[in-house]
Chains A and B, each alone.
Chain A
């Protein structure tokens, strides 16, 4: 279990990293390496050159950018986990991060790396898709913003071109008075890949009626999926039996993945249950908060 030989380069800027990628089709970006290194150890990945972006200060910021929290590509998951601004502005991300691997992988793994890797069972891509966030990509032909819905194409496959790097991930920051969130998943062991994961963020008005809702499922689907039912809940209080019915109706029709771990029928059933529980838990989390002035 040793990686094949490669060259290691540590560029001094994102521009230099992009030039290195453009010049060599067998070059790959490494940030935290918590997925890429095991893939290399198993020889499922054999890059000829690793371009290490993990120390680029220009990619190491968490900042408010208009309506979003922008997280630079080199920001480690453990840093976001402890970040008060991210916790306040994107409660769903804060709920999801403890589910990502273990503390020992989160202190190296990056938020951007998890998104660029696009594992269908990964938590952070599910948060980005559920909230309808986006990524900023930069390549030799310039920069572009890609919406989460257009970014995840298939398992481990994204819209990034070979010479593009993910510069930052942008998570919408909700400004509503009462926002609650919940993240749930089923896996074989703590920290393992999710068979099914569900994410929900809900905003309520002072009367407890839903004013905004985002709900998504991952693990069960080929790409992390924001459910259209998200738009069905605003306008009234969220109530269990109606919520379950609405979610079951949509999930009955979505394309479910299969592998050796869990059958499609199980994944569909578990998706309906987890999505319902996540939505109700997010509602209760919002109800527990005093309306902000």
Chain B
């Protein structure tokens, strides 16, 4: 079945079985492997992508359902090759990761959070990333990373979520 997906601003038509999840289509057909395959039943958040700017589980949607939406993956956040978004940079600086498996989902969740609320309380940050499981349990530095990103966004001219 043919479906046109708009990912990080580019629209491409792919041919997939209806049962192919959006996650598998991104990874296998579009070679965007930043969205990670974890539990494949909506629990872990490793496959988080943004659908029209809102975080969603790419494993809980079939690719054939995803036409017409603006999809954003972790590959779409950095302003240019070799660069990092402000949020990605904050994760690096605080070392908000250990093995890195949950990191793309964490960064995208943080991206959506800071777009809606540029100065979230610690409680709100914890609530947001409760949707993403880090099995290294490195949550302390992930929360720090999002707090640092929020402070930097407040001081930047770029506005939220760049």
Contact = CB atoms under 8 A, between A and B. Distances in A.
A188 to B, nearest CB: 12
Decide if the interface of chain B is mainly helix, strand, loop or mixed.
mixed
A5 B19 CA distance: 6
A38 B19 contact: no
Contacts of A6: 18-19
Interface stretch (B53-61, B89-97, B142-150): B53-61
Interface string B69-83: 000000000000000
Contacts of B131: 102-105, 191
B14 to A, nearest CB: 14
B54 A107 contact: yes
A108 B18 contact: no
B2 to A, nearest CB: 12
B39 to A, nearest CB: 8
Contacts of B61: 33, 37, 108
Interface residues of A, number: 29
Nearest to B47: A104
Interface in A89-125: 102-105, 107-108
Contacts of B62: 3, 8, 33, 37, 50
A49 B116 CA distance: 37
A103 B128 contact: yes
Contacts of B1: 8
B65 A38 contact: no
Contact of B56 (A40, A50, A107, A191): A107
B45 to A, nearest CB: 7
Q: Which of B18, B59, B112 has the most CB of A within 10 A?
A: B18
B19 A37 contact: no
Contacts of B24: 2
Interface string B127-150: 110110000000000000000000
* Listed residue (B39, B55, B60, B64) with the most chain A CB atoms within 10 angstroms of its CB: B60
A104 B109 contact: yes
26 contacts: A1-B39, A3-B19, A3-B62, A5-B17, A5-B18, A5-B19, A6-B18, A8-B64, A30-B65, A33-B60, A33-B62, A33-B65, A34-B60, A37-B61, A40-B19, A41-B40, A41-B59, A54-B65, A103-B112, A104-B48, A104-B56, A104-B57, A107-B51, A107-B55, A107-B56, A190-B130
Given A5-B17, A7-B18, 11 more contacts: A2-B21, A3-B19, A30-B65, A33-B62, A38-B41, A41-B21, A41-B40, A105-B56, A107-B51, A107-B55, A107-B56
Question: Nearest 6 CB-CB pairs, A to B?
Answer: A102-B131, A8-B18, A38-B41, A1-B40, A190-B130, A107-B54
